[in-house]
Amino acid sequence: MKLFIVLAGMICGLAHARIASAEITVFACHFAASQAAATFITIYDDGSPSRIGVEVGVGSKAQAYFDRPTGATVVVEFNGAGIPDTLTTINRDGKAVHSRHLLAVPDGLFVPSQTVGQCDRRAVR
């Protein structure tokens, strides 16, 4: 009898369980410096690190911010040591600026660059 009550409780609990899911925003970006390949920015709303790379959901870790007054999305990409090395700002209309702030190793040479482009939202399937 106790086993039946335990199983019935588990089944009722499962009936009311919610399946967790994250909203995913993907931008496919093309910048003047590299028109051949798209840069994909994948943003998760569940606290998972955003990603910047050549495929959806794959790439360097990043942190995304949303500026409500302007509707802009700002994405900061981090290198393997956790130091910010790129900043991408995407306006509401998709116009984007990608800034790179590299320090060359081992000589510490600072190599900045900035390019403009277009980012388009993509549906996630």
Q: How confident is the model at residue 27 (pLDDT cuts 50, 70, 90)?
A: very high
Domains of the chain by residue range: 22-122
Per-residue CA distances from 105 to 16, 66, 86, 98, 108 (Å): 54, 32, 16, 22, 5
Using a 10 angstrom Cβ sphere, with 0-12 exposed, 13-18 middle and 19 or more buried, the burial of residue 28 is middle
Residue of higher predicted confidence among 15 and 120: 120
Q: Terminus-to-terminus CA distance in the chain, angstroms? A: 45
Residue type, 4: F
Indicate the pTM of the whole model.
0.75
The whole-angstrom separation of Cα 88 and Cα 101 is 11
| Model confidence pLDDT, tens digit, residues 60-87 | 999 999 999 999 999 999 988 888 889 9
Q: Which of 75, 22, 70 is nearest to 51 (CA)?
A: 75
User: Token digits for 16?
Assistant: 């009311």
- State phi, psi for 11 to the nearest 5 degrees: -65, -40
